Structure 1
Amino acid sequence: MSHNDFRTSSPRRPDRAALAVAAGLAALAGVILWDVSRLSAIVSYSPVGPATIPYAIGFALLGLSVWTVIAAFRGDFPEREPQEARPVLWIVGGLAAQMLLLNTAGFSIATGVLFAATAYAFGRRQLWISLPVGILLCLGVWYVFARQLQLSLPAGPLENLLF
């Protein structure tokens, strides 16, 4: 038997999604290591200083990046299901709507819109139910954080009307 008889399939291409994740991990590690290199100028009486843990995190992320590249070339990742774009777009649209509405409509209405869009993305298609439920839940969250804990959350017409 020749060496070619043992080959069962053609060599697989590396997993591009895993390589993208590895590149993101490497970029994040690079940013952390670059930023923490500025902390090294701080002299400490101990070898453990303010730069120790960020260095450890940066090198750990770099190690994870290398590990992910190796796994991508070896084909160790399982096949993934195809990504559905519609639910992702509903959630991203809800986040965009929340950011646009936050200062004008207030926390409760803006975050209620995000709640309803996320519920729609996860299969709850009755927006006429999930929108008011989301607004009421977010009004309760606003009350606890803004009134009870004295934290600053944007108040809109609904919060000003009720409180």
Structure 2
Amino acid sequence: MSQATHHDAKRRPDWAALVIAAALAVVAVVIAWSTASHGTGASYARVGPTTMPYVIAVAFGGLSIWTAFEAFRGEFPEREHQELSPILWIVGGLAAQMLLLKVAGFSIATGLLFAATVRAFGRGPLWKTIPIGIALSFVIWIIFARGLQLSLPAGLLEHLF
């Protein structure tokens, strides 16, 4: 009886993998639909600007079918337990950067993202990593905004220089 129960448990589909397969299928359909809805320009060759998006859509469709097939076979390896705290630190850092980018500028917003990511990896206290992140981000801002003449959001710190 225990072998039958073990066999039934092994034959159940992996629902997480099926969700991933469905997401891959949606991406494939969206790419194909978006490519088809854009008009093709005048093309003198068989391989034009719409070829690569269709290739990518077919690749995503193939990955979707393969993932669904493997999910029904139930032979995915056992997944490790995921810690929620590091994910929340990184997502929170990204949210803070997006919200503060225009208000506080590139250096401060990206410095906070740096500090949150460092915290997610379990390194250094925030009082130390926030100034380090802001300093590194400011150096990056100088290189890109001043050296390469690219437009990055400037805030209080950037306006000082």
TM over 0.5: yes
Alignment match, 1:73: 72
Instruction: Please tell me the residue identity of whatever aligns with 2:125.
Output: Q
Question: Which structure 1 residue ranges, 5 or more long, are not aligned?
Answer: none
How many residue pairs get aligned? The number is 158
Coordinate RMSD, CA, aligned: 1.8
Distance 1:39 1:101, change over 3 A: closer
Whether 2:26 is the aligned partner of 1:16: answer: no
Partners of 1:45 and 1:156 lie apart in 2 by 49
1:53 aligns with 2:45: no
Helix, strand or coil at the partner of 1:83:
coil
Q: What amino acid is aligned across from residue 23 of structure 1 in structure 2?
A: A
Which residue of the partner structure matches residue 61 of structure 2?
A: 62
**C-alpha displacement of 1:46:** 2.1
SS of the equivalent of 1:23 reads helix
CA deviation profile, 1:46-84 (whole Å, cap 9, x unmatched): 221111111111011100100000111112211111111
Helix, strand or coil at the partner of 1:123: coil
Residues 98-152 of structure 1 deviation map (CA, whole Å, 9 limit, x = unaligned)? 1111111110011000100111011014111111110000000000000001111
Distance 2:90 2:40 in 1: 43
Q: SS in structure 2 opposite 1:28? A: helix
Aligned match of 1:109: 108
Contact 2:40 2:50 in 1 (8 A): no
Instruction: Name the counterpart of 2:156.
Output: 157
CA contact (8 A) 1:86 1:121 kept: yes
Q: What is the alpha-carbon distance in structure 2 between the residues aligned to residue 42 and residue 101 of structure 1?
A: 40
Shift >3 Å, 4+ stretches: 39-43
Output one character per residue of 1:7-65: Cα deviation in whole Å (capped at 9) or x when no partner.
Answer: 68322321111111111110110001101113465452322111111111101110010
Q: How does 1:30-49 map to 2 (within 5 A)?
A: 30-39=29-38, 41-49=40-48
Q: TM-score, normalised by structure 2?
A: 0.91
Match of 2:132 in 1: 133
Distance 2:39 2:98 in 1: 38
- Mapped to 1, the partners of 2:91 and 2:128 lie a distance apart of 20
d(CA) in 1 for partners of 2:82 and 2:66? 24
Contact kept, 8 Å, 1:39 with 1:50, in 2: the verdict is: no
What fraction of aligned residue pairs are identical, expressed as a percent? Answer: 60
Gaps of 5+ in 2: none
